[in-house]
C-alpha cells in the first residue's frame, strides 16, 4: 500500500506498539472518535483525551505527520473516503450485536464484522516483516508454535499446514510442554507465538524462553499486543474489531487464520517445486483414505 493512500487509522495501528502510554491514550481516543477529532482544536483534543498538548504533538509526529493541522486534514480525507465507500458492510450503521437486533440481521452483521476485521488486518500488515517471517520459517530446522485457548486452535492449524509440506514443526496444547520445548531450541530453530491480547502469560513466557535459548522468534498478535512483541524478532499484527460477545473467537480468529494462510502460501512460493511435490504426495495419501 502506498504511503499517500494509507489511512491515518492504519498508520496509528502500525506505530501503536512504539507509542508511550500517554501517546497510546491519545491514539485510543482518536481511533474511537475520528470524525469528531477532525474538527477539534489542539486544546479541545487535549482536554477530551486527557493528555497534554505536547503529548498529542509527539503522537502525530510519531505516526508521520509534520504537525497537528496536517493530521486533522488527513482525518478529514479519511472520513470523506469512508462515507463514499459502497462496501456492503458499510451499509450497516452498527456491526455490533445488540439485544434489540432482529435475528435475520445477524448473518449480515457477522459477515460484515469478518470483512472489516480482514480489511483492518490487511491495512496494517508490514510487507517487509511478512517477507522476513516467510524466510525465517523456510530456513529453520525446528519450528515451535505456541498458543493456548482460542489461539491454540490457530497454532494447531498452522502446524498442520507446515507438516504437510515437510517442515519439522511441533505444537503442544500443554503450556508446560511448550516451555520445555522452548528451552531446547537453538539458533537454527524458530519459535512462533500466537496471542490475540499479546498478554497471555503462558504464551509470552514460552516465547521469552525460546529467545533466551537463542532461537529466532516471531509473534502474531493484535496491534496493541506489546507484551509479547518484546520477545519477538518479528511481529505480524492483526486488526482490532471488537464485539461484545466472544470477540477473540470471532473477528480475531479470522484475522489470525488469514496471517497463517499468508505465511503458508509465502513459504510455498519460496520453493514452489519442492513444496508442491511434497504436497502432492500428502494429498495422494489422504485421497487413498477416502471412499
Q: Residue 91 has what pLDDT?
A: 43
**Are both 135 and 80 inside the same structural domain?**
no
Looking up residue 57, the CATH number of its domain turns out to be 1.10.10.10
**Are both 263 and 149 inside the same structural domain?**
yes
- Range with lowest mean pLDDT among 8-22, 96-110, 149-163: 96-110
Question: Which has the closest alpha carbon to 243: 64, 109, 146, 150?
Answer: 109
**Are both 232 and 129 inside the same structural domain?**
yes
**Are both 78 and 152 inside the same structural domain?**
no
**Are both 37 and 143 inside the same structural domain?**
no
Residue 106 maps to a domain: no
Query: Which of these three, 85, 110, 141, is where a domain ends?
Result: 85
Q: Is the pLDDT of residue 276 over 60?
A: yes
Q: Residue 291 has what pLDDT?
A: 65
Query: 197-216: buried (b, 16+ CB within 10 Å) or exposed (e) per residue?
Result: bbebebbbbbbbbbbebebb
Q: Is the pLDDT of residue 245 over 80?
A: no
Residue 167 maps to a domain: yes
**Are both 80 and 131 inside the same structural domain?**
no
For the segment 25-80, what is each residue's pLDDT rounded down to a tens digit? 999 898 888 778 888 899 999 999 999 999 999 999 998 888 888 888 888 777 65
Cell numbers at residue 139, please?
530456513
Query: Which of these three, 85, 108, 139, is where a domain ends?
Result: 85
For residue 162, give its domain range. 124-287
For the segment 99-127, what is each residue's pLDDT rounded down to a tens digit? 777 888 888 877 888 888 888 888 888 89
Looking up residue 242, the CATH number of its domain turns out to be 3.40.50.10490
Q: Residue 89 has what pLDDT?
A: 47
Look up cell 486527557; give the residue: 50
Q: Work out the average pLDDT over 197-223.
A: 94
| Full-model pTM | 0.79
Amino acid at each position: 500500500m502506498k504511503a499517500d493512500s494509507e489511512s491515518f487509522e492504519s498508520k496509528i495501528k502500525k506505530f501503536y506498539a512504539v507509542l508511550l502510554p500517554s501517546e497510546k491514550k491519545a491514539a485510543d481516543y482518536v481511533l474511537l472518535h475520528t470524525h469528531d477529532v477532525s474538527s477539534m482544536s489542539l486544546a479541545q483534543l487535549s482536554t477530551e483525551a486527557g493528555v497534554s498538548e505536547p503529548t498529542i504533538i509527539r503522537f502525530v509526529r510519531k505516526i508521520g505527520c509534520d504537525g497537528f493541522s496536517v493530521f486533522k486534514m488527513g482525518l478529514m480525507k479519511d472520513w470523506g473516503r469512508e462515507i463514499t465507500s459502497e462496501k456492503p458492510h458499510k451499509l450497516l450503521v452498527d456491526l455490533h450485536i445488540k439485544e434489540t437486533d432482529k435475528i435475520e440481521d445477524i448473518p449480515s452483521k457477522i459477515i460484515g464484522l469478518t470483512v472489516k476485521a480482514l480489511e483492518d488486518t490487511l491495512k496494517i500488515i508490514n510487507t517487509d516483516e511478512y517477507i522476513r517471517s516467510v524466510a525465517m520459517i523456510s530456513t529453520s530446522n525446528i519450528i515451535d508454535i505456541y498458543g493456548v485457548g482460542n489461539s491454540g486452535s490457530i497454532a494447531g492449524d498452522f502446524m498442520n499446514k507446515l507438516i504437510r509440506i515437510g517442515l519439522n514443526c511441533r505444537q503442544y496444547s500443554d503450556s508446560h510442554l511448550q516451555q520445555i520445548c522452548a528451552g531446547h531450541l537453538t539458533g537454527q530453530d524458530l519459535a512462533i507465538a500466537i496471542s490475540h491480547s499479546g498478554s497471555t502469560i503462558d504464551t509470552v513466557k514460552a516465547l521469552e524462553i525460546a529467545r533466551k535459548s537463542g532461537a529466532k522468534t516471531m509473534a502474531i498478535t493484535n496491534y496493541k499486543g506489546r507484551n509479547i512483541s518484546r520477545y519477538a524478532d518479528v511481529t505480524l499484527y492483526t486488526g482490532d474489531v471488537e464485539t461484545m460477545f466472544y470477540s477473540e473467537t470471532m473477528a480475531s480468529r479470522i484475522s489470525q487464520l488469514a496471517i497463517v494462510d499468508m505465511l503458508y502460501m509465502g513459504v510455498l512460493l519460496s520453493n514452489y517445486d519442492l513444496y508442491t511435490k511434497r504436497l502432492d504426495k500428502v494429498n495422494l495419501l489422504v485421497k487413498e483414505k477416502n471412499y
